[in-house]
Amino acid sequence: MSIKVCDCEDNGLGNLGTPNCQNIAGITSNLFLVPTNDSLGQPNYIDLLTASLDSAYFTAALQNADASKRWQFVPKLENVTNERAESLTEELGSGRSIKIRKGVKSFFGSIYKQSYTFYGKLELAGCNDISAFPIDLAGNLIGRLSPDKTKLYPVMIDKETYDPIYIEPTDSTAAKINLSFDWADTERDACLKMIKASEMDVSIFALRSVIDANLVESPDTAPSTTAFGVIVSMDYGTALKEKEITGLVVADFVVTSGGVPQVPLTVTETPTGTYVFDFTGAPLPAAAAVTVTLVSGGKFEANEVLTIAIP
């Protein structure tokens, strides 16, 4: 989409005819937060020519093994405002005003029923250059259309204004996280376009981001060449007990010794969140270190690689 700018040599006013029906975005309900550029400095975007906008596409974006290309899904936002301030003007001695520039467009929304832990992760998102695809209440996705109409870019956020604040509960109000930021002043409302919910084959509000995981050696299984145990948990939980991650299988883990992959015969979850690795079919090297992590590109991502000493 090519947007014209003011040109004193163009005597036309711009055509204001409209079709009978226009696509107008509703109130923002959620956000996809997206790194503005990947690790190679290339912008992240939706390829409108090739993307199959189904559950697999969005799941792949949310679980991308490359963190610089990975999307993050912000839960339901309430009390949303997304308003542009009045333009900055200079008042002349004659009483006339001249517009200097457009006002800043600011976003605000509250996220309820989230913990201190989630707040910490939301806060970290502001450490990088960041953009967003707003999603309205109807499930429509909004972005910036490229001039050649082949790409939809996330809308750039002014990184220095990104400011989530945790609000403690009171006798009359619930705990919440207030998220506020300004959109980059280079973004123009006239360049925004939506992808309608009906054009996407996905239940967009059911999507979820990757969960960080912690891997700790289990004290219940003495490490040997034929077995060891690993406790897998989230950052969420209490100070005494983190919430367990359940339901993992052999294919969810990567085990190596001396850089050589080691495939267990079985991985048994017992008790909940604790996984016992059985190597009786192909014993591990003795007097060596084994590393354990989770497969990249899944629902969970290991914060650190676990190292276990095999006697």
pLDDT at 13 over 90: no
- What pLDDT does 100 receive? 82
Is 3.40.50.720 the CATH number for 211-310?
no
For residue 199, give the 3-state DSSP assignment: helix
Lowest mean pLDDT among 5-14, 234-243, 246-255: 5-14
pLDDT at 219 over 90: yes
CA distance 256 to 277: 13
Measured CA to CA in angstroms, residue 179 lies from 34, 77, 143, 169, 209 at distances of 16, 9, 19, 16, 18
- CB atoms under 10 Å from CB of 183, counted, come to 22
Domain boundaries, the chain: 28-206, 211-310
Global pTM exceeds 0.75: yes
CA distance 37 to 45: 9
Kindly state the helix (H) or strand (E) to which residue 57 belongs, with its residue range: helix 55-62
pLDDT at 5 over 80: no
Pairing label, strands 288-294, 306-310: antiparallel
- What pLDDT does 21 receive? 77
pLDDT at 2 over 80: no
CA distance 128 to 126: 5
Segment 48-60 shows an average pLDDT of 96
pLDDT at 15 over 80: no
Q: What is the pLDDT of residues 73-116, one digit of tens each?
A: 999 999 999 999 887 888 888 888 888 888 899 999 999 999 99
Segment 254-267 shows an average pLDDT of 96
Kindly state the helix (H) or strand (E) to which residue 108 belongs, with its residue range: strand 105-112
For residue 72, give the 3-state DSSP assignment: strand
Q: Give the type of residue at 234.
A: M
Residues sharing a CB contact under 8 Å with residue 59, sequence separation 6 or more, in sequence order: 207
